Amino acid sequence: MEDPWHRAKEALGRWAAQQIQDVRILGIGSGSTVSAFIQALARYRQEVPMPLTITAASHASEEQARQLGLDVVPLESLEHVDLAVDGADAVDAHGALIKGGGAALVRERLVIAAARHTMILVDSSKVMNAFKRVRLPIAIIPFGWRQTLSRLNGLGVGTASLRRKGEGPVVTDDGLYIADLAIGNIAVPDMLHHELKRIDGVVDTGLFLDYPTAIWVSDGLTVWRHNE
Ligand code: 5RP
């Protein structure tokens, strides 16, 4: 089935590709919005050649960028990243993000943490006042995953389930599993993030809160800034 938001993702991808003229080292996240951005970037670079080194937060993004002729290196080979471009699953009024719908949250955080600036691209369906009735992805260690799920459920904030694909669990590029925590209301995202990180077996959560981030939104017709 066609993604009803693909026009917005393409608009964001095209728009973002034109914003990076002065960027030399670019971090890219993952997902369909980032994929539209990579496509647009490769096309734009044919028109306006520029020296650009890319580091990618997932094997899929890395593969796509390489196939389109972009120069991709591992994050650890770089001193810094000028700009990270990524998507998100939800954005609240304060600019907090939920990420991890594509299971790449651990690497996405590391790319964003290494970047001087971050540009987040979301279609307008993902913008909400506060995080209500959301699924929060949590990266967990495979060993003892059942017990980690019980601990997550024991917190009493929502219902955790193991993300599956076909017969087996979804496995991230780092060999982790993903637990999705269905939550009615995230009252204080920062508190929840730290509470979850303290649970044995949890590696990271999809709550991205304190990065210098410009969030850009599109409905397919125009692109606008969500936060200042
Ligand atoms: C992957 C992510 C993605 O950025 C997020 O899931 C958005 O994906 P899409 O652009 O396909 O809607 O966090 O871990």
What distances in angstroms separate CA 179 from CA 97, 145, 191, one per listed residue? 17, 9, 19
According to the model, what pLDDT value does residue 26 have? 98
Rounded Cα distance, 139 and 110, in Å: 14
Ligand 1 pocket mutation, candidates 34, 98, 126, 171, criterion most atoms within 8 A of CB: 34
DSSP string, 28-65: E--SHHHHHHHHHHHHHHHHS----EEEESSHHHHHHH
Rounded Cα distance, 226 and 223, in Å: 10
pLDDT digits (tens, 9 = 90+) for 129-160: 999 999 999 999 999 999 999 999 999 999 99
**Separation of 187 CA from ligand 1 center, angstroms?**
23
What predicted TM-score, i.e. pTM, was given to this entire model? 0.96
**Separation of 222 CA from ligand 1 center, angstroms?**
20
pLDDT band, residue 49 (cuts 50/70/90): confident
Q: Which residues sit with their C-beta closer than 6 Å to ligand 1? A: 29-33, 86-89, 99-105, 108
pLDDT digits (tens, 9 = 90+) for 82-122: 999 999 999 999 999 999 999 999 999 999 999 999 999 99
According to the model, what pLDDT value does residue 21 have? 84
Ligand 1 pocket mutation, candidates 12, 28, 33, criterion most atoms within 8 A of CB: 33
Contacts of 67 (CB under 8 A, 6+ apart): none
**Separation of 168 CA from ligand 1 center, angstroms?**
21
Q: Which protein residue's CA is at the shortest distance from atom 4 of ligand 1?
A: 87
Nearest to 27 by CA among 102, 89, 97, 119: 119
- Share the mean pLDDT of the chain: 96
Q: Which atom of ligand 1 is nearest to the CA of 34?
A: 10
Q: Which atom of ligand 1 is nearest to the CA of 104?
A: 14
Residues annotated as part of the active site: 108
**Separation of 29 CA from ligand 1 center, angstroms?**
8
Q: Which protein residue's CA is at the shortest distance from atom 6 of ligand 1?
A: 101
pLDDT digits (tens, 9 = 90+) for 161-203: 999 999 999 999 999 999 999 999 999 999 999 999 999 999 9
Q: Which atom of ligand 1 is nearest to the CA of 99?
A: 13
Residue holding tokens 């980690």?
148
Q: Which atom of ligand 1 is nearest to the CA of 137?
A: 14
Nearest to 12 by CA among 212, 220, 214: 220
ipTM: 0.99
**Separation of 143 CA from ligand 1 center, angstroms?**
26
DSSP string, 118-156: EEEEEEGGGB-SS-EEEEEEEEE-STTHHHHHHHHHHTS
Nearest to 157 by CA among 175, 178, 139, 131: 131
